[in-house]
Every structure is written in C-alpha cells, then in structure tokens.
Amino acid sequence: MSSRSVCFVVGARPNFMKAAPVYRALAEVEPDLRLLLVHTGQHYDAEMSAVFVAELDLPPPDVLLGIGSGTHGEQTAKALVGVERVLLDQRPSLVVVAGDVNSTLAAALAASKLQIPVAHIESGLRSFDEGMPEEANRRLTDHLSQILLAHSDAAVANLLQEKIVPDRIHLIGNTMIDSVFRHLAAALVKQPWSRFDLAPGGFALVTLHRPALVDDPQLLGRTIDAVSELARLMPLVFPVHPRTQARIAATGVDLAALREKGVMISSPLGYLEFLGLEAKAAFVLTDSGGVQEETSAPNVRCFTLRNTTERPVTVELGTNTVLGADPEAIRAIPKLLQEGDAPATEIALWDGRAGDRAAAVISAFLGSRRGRPSSESAEELGIGQISRSSCHIR
C-alpha cells in the first residue's frame, strides 16, 4: 500500500468528537492523502458508535475490528492485535489517536512497534490519580508519540515536566470544542428536551459511567439515592450508559420509582440529542471527562462527581466544579447553584479551529518526512513547536 496515507484509530464515542475535526481538516489541506478510519469497536452499541459517525460527518469506518467489551487487559490486547494487522497491511505514514481509552494506547503501541509515527490528539492531560486506568493510557501514549497536540497551557506544562522533547509538542486548542461549535445549531433545531416534555433551562442532565463508581454496588446505590433527591429541585434527564444500566439492574433499583421522582431515564443518546440537552440544561452532573469541557462552551454549570480532573482549565476558566467522589456531595448542588458562579472565561484556542491547526501540524510533519518544505510557515499557520521557556504558541 502507498505510504501516502494516514490512519485514524477511534474506539469510544469521545474519540469521534475529537478526531472528526482533524480528519475533515486534513482531507482539505492534503486532498491527495489517503485517510483510513479504523474503529476498534470498544464502544459497539449503535447508540454509542454508529450514530456518532453519521452525525459528526465522518465516513463509515474503513475497518471495524469489533473488539467489544472485556477487562482492560482484554480490550487493550484485542485492539493491539487488530490494529497491528491493519498497519501491517496498509503501512500508513502516520497513525492518529485521540483521548485516553484502551484503544488509544493499543493503537499507539502497535504503531510504535512497527516504527510508524503517532500523533496524539489531546496530549498532556493529567489527573495525577494513579487509580484511573485512563491516566496510564494517556501517559504512555504521550511518550510513544512524535506529534503531541495539546489543548491548553497546563497540558503543555505537564508534557515538559515529563521531559518530552519540546519540538514534538504543539498547542493547537481543543478539537472537541470544534465539534460543539460545528454542530450546536443542528442540535438545538432537534429540540431534544421536547421528547421529555421539558422546556429549555427547566431540567438538569446526568451522566454516570466510570467503573470506580458504577462497579461498586454500595456506592452506586448511594449515588442513585442522592440523584433521586436532587430531582426534587428540577427534573433530571439521565441517559444511561450500557455499563451503568447493567449495574443499576444488578443493585435492584426500582427504575419506575425513580421516574416517579422526576429522574427521566433513557437509553444512550446520539451526539446531537445529547449536545442539545447539554446546551440547554440548567446544570449537568457527570463523572465524564469530555462533558466537563463541552459544558464550558455554552456556559452551562457542570458538577463533576470525581476527586480529580485532568482538565483543570475547566475549573479555572470554565464552568466546572469538582464535587469529589462522595455521593453526599451531590446534595450540595442546590446551595452551590444559589451561591452562583462567575461565567466562563474564553479559553485560549478553544475557538472552533483546533482541527485546522492540528491538520497543519500533521501536514508539515508529513512534508518534512518527504523532504519537501511546508507550504506555510508556522507564523502563517498560527502554530508552532513549544519552547521550554514559554509554553505558548510562537
């Protein structure tokens, strides 16, 4: 196969929102470049994957590995073997991965073993919580990558602290926010709140899926109790992740009773429906990483049910409040809402053009490997390598 190809590997729904802007922008800036989209199938339900491909203007995956669920080791191993086979067959000049899921690390490792360069979208995020499996994934992926695409100064600082070569680091902004800006109008046109007979601003949105929470029956039970009490404040829309649904069923929670209390449980939602609800919610309660970022764009209060966040910029400049992992903290939300909070401050480079900047970095990298000069200078592109002294764009 031609080496004039780039392989994008995605596995879980957040990967699609992060990779899609880069995929589209690279197709525009490098029209002769063959783009290969590999979906590992880590998220395999239609609501968790196929609908995201369609709604984010991505083509159907060229390869669907179908690795499915399993332990962290099983998922990583299956993705590693599957991606390696694709890379041996296709021999791309670059592999692009996003985020911090098991598929991300597996693809980066497969490429590294075959001496194929790796570009990592969302490099440098650190929670400094070694109990999070994602923390190992993101650290290892960064150290396997030749192109590190960071979304904030804090992410850049983390990479420099770990002695990663500065010339590999590029501060390009947040590609997930690109997806928000691109699709928000279409999401609002769908009026997803109407299917629940709700009005904009008259409900809150809940998402819970992390194993540390939902795999502990006692902790999950206490969380559901606190969520049901929160529904006294206003109706809660709760799209249930398949993993969470199975765990809730195992605890014997009465879903009908929850609905009577105002907790509106639904199956997982497509990207546009979820984005529309997110943008018009009075607030969001989550243990997700990406939701912390997405809510900052439309200036919606976010309460994160975790002890740490790898996205501190959402607390410093955005709308995010880290509650802690104790379900009792949920009961503080009404008071926190009454106290109010400063509106989100514009976060540098979270402007809807991060995908363009990432594509320019990748194009320049591919050009240098082919021995041709980049068509535009770093100054013209508005990007550049990161110096140790500044941590800013040159």
Exactly one of 183, 209, 241, 392 is catalytic; which is it? 209
DSSP at 322 = E
Query: What pairing do the DSSP bridges indicate for beta strands 34-39 and 63-64?
Result: parallel
Question: What H or E segment, with its residue span, contains residue 150?
Answer: strand 147-150
For residue 148, the cross-strand partners are 120, 169
Radius of gyration of the chain (CA): 21
For residue 373, the cross-strand partners are none
Catalytic (active site) residue 209: yes
Nearest-10 crossing angle of helices 13-29, 354-370: 60
Structure tokens at 297: 């764009």
Distance CA 313, CA 117 (A): 29
Neighbours of 201 (CB within 10 A): 12
Structure tokens at 280: 């018009």
Distance, C-alpha 25 to centroid of its chain: 18
Q: What amino acid occupies position 202?
A: G
DSSP at 386 = P
What are the DSSP calls for 271-288, one per residue? HHHHHHHHHH-SEEEE--
Instruction: Supply the residues annotated as catalytic.
Output: 209
